[in-house]
Amino acid sequence: LAPWIPVVGLEIHAQISSNSKLFSGSQVQFAAPPNSLVSFFDASLPGTLPVLNRRCVEAAVMTGLALNCSINKKSLFDRKHYFYADLPAGYQITQQRVPIAVNGSLSYSLCIDNKMSQMVTKTVRIKQIQLEQDSGKSLHDDTRCQTLVDLNRAGVGLMEVVMEPDMCCGEEAAAAVRELQLILQTLGSSQAVMAEGQLRVDANVSVHHPGEPYGVRTEVKNINSIRFLAKAVDYEIQRQIEELENGGTILNETRAFDSKLGCTVPMRDKEGKQDYRFMPEPNLPPLILYDAKSLPANMNHQQVINIDWIHERLPDLPSVKREKLVEQYGILPEHSFTLL
C-alpha cells in the first residue's frame, strides 16, 4: 500500500488585547451583561462609521515583526459579506486584498520521543496576518427553536494568522499553536487564552501520495483546546486515509470537531461554496505605516505609527529567553522548554 502524506495548514484568530474595539469605542471584556458593551456602530445602526483603533494596529505590527513578516506600509480594508444573526451589518470588515503583514515564519520544537530527551526544531511559514472584526455570539436554544444573540463580542479586534500547510500531524499543529500562543502572550498583543475564545484555530487537512498533487482538503472547526487540536487533526487525517483506501472521495467541506466523540462531523448550514462578494470598505482609506526613513516631518505624532520604533521595543521572544537560560545557567535545551 502506497504511503500517505498528510498536509495540515492552520487559520488562527487571536483576539487583540485592547481596551476598546477595532472600529468603535465600546469596551472589550469577557463575561459582561449581554449587549452592554455594544455601541451603535457595533449594532450596525444606519449612519454609523468605523474609526480605526491605533492600539490594534500596533498589536498587529508587533505580531508581524515577531513572526519575521514583511510589514505592508500600505494595507487595505475590505468587506466580506454573509448572512448570520451575530453579524448585524451583513458583512465583516477584514483585509482580503492587502493585509498588514505577509511572508513570515514561526519556529517551534518537538520532542522526538516522549521523554523530552531530544528536541527537533521545525518551521512553519506564515502566509499573512490580517486585521478583522470579530462577530457577536450566538446561543442556540434548541428547545424553543431560537437563537439568542449577544453583540458584546461584535467588533472586537482580531488578528488572523494564516499558517501555510507545512505541518503533517496533530502534534506539529499543536506545537506550532503553543509557540504562537507564547509569543502573543509575551508581546501582550493577545492574551491568547483558548478557553475564553481569545485564540481560535481552524485546521485545513488533506492527504496525498508522494509525487502526486495535493488531495482535496477539509476545514475543521470548533476546536476548543490545543489538546483537541492535535486529536482533531489526527482523526481527520485517519478518516481521509480510510475513506480513500475504501475507494471513497473527500468532499471539500467544513467539518466540526466533536470533542465528546473524538471525531469530526459535517457542519450544517454550510450549503455549497460561499461567495463572499468581497469589495473595498468604502468608509476606510488605506492604512499607511511609516518607518524611520519615511517618517513625515509635519504630522501629529498620535496619527503616525513607526514600524522601527515598535521593532526597537519588542520584548525578548520565548526562543530568545530559552537561549539565554541555557547560556546563563548551563541547563539543557530540553529543560528550557519545560520552563518556557
Partner 1 sequence: QKVSVEVLDHLEHLALVDFRDSEGVERLQKAIQFADQLLEVNTDGVEPMDSVLEDRWCLYLREDDVTEGNCTKELLENAREKVEEYFVAPPGNIPLSKLEERETFLQGS
Binding footprint of partner 1 on the chain (CB under 8 A): 18-20, 24-27, 33-41, 43, 45, 51-57, 76, 81, 83-85, 138-142, 145-151, 268-269, 271, 275, 277, 280, 284-288, 302-303, 305
Query: At 4, phi and psi to the nearest 5?
Result: -105, 140
Judged by CB, which is closer to partner 1: 100, or 250? 100
Q: Which of 203, 210, 127, 206 has its CA nearest to residue 171?
A: 203
The set of residues, in sequence order, having a beta carbon less than 8 Å from that of 185 and lying 6+ positions away, is 191, 192
Take residue 27 and report the three cell numbers written for it: 469596551
Compare residues 121 and 147 and give the one whose CB is closer to partner 1. Answer: 147
Q: How far apart are CA 286 and CA 92, in angstroms?
A: 17
The three cell numbers of residue 52 are 480605526
**Pick 76 or 119: Cβ nearer partner 1:** 76
User: What three-state secondary structure class fits 214?
Assistant: coil
Q: Which of 2, 4, 6, 5 is nearest to 204 (CA)?
A: 6
Q: Which is nearer to partner 1, 113 or 142 (CB)?
A: 142
When the beta carbons of 148 and 332 are compared against partner 1, the nearer one is: 148
Q: How far is the CB of 87 from partner 1 (least distance, A)?
A: 11
Query: C-beta of 175: minimal distance to partner 1 in Å?
Result: 32
Q: How far apart are CA 154 and CA 92, in angstroms?
A: 10
The residue written with cell numbers 520604533 in the block is 309
Q: How many CB atoms lie within 10 A of CB 320?
A: 13
272 vs 81, 86, 251, CA distance in Å?
A: 16, 21, 11
Q: Using CA atoms, how far apart are residues 170 and 12, in angstroms rounded to an integer?
A: 15
Q: Which is nearer to partner 1, 155 or 165 (CB)?
A: 155
Q: Which is nearer to partner 1, 97 or 227 (CB)?
A: 97
CB-based contact 254:248 (threshold 8 Å): no
State how far the Cα of 124 lies from the Cα of 302, in Å rounded to an integer: 35
Q: Which residue number, 55 or 125, has a Cβ lying nearer to partner 1?
A: 55
- Among candidates 209, 271, 268, which has minimal Cα distance to 240? 209
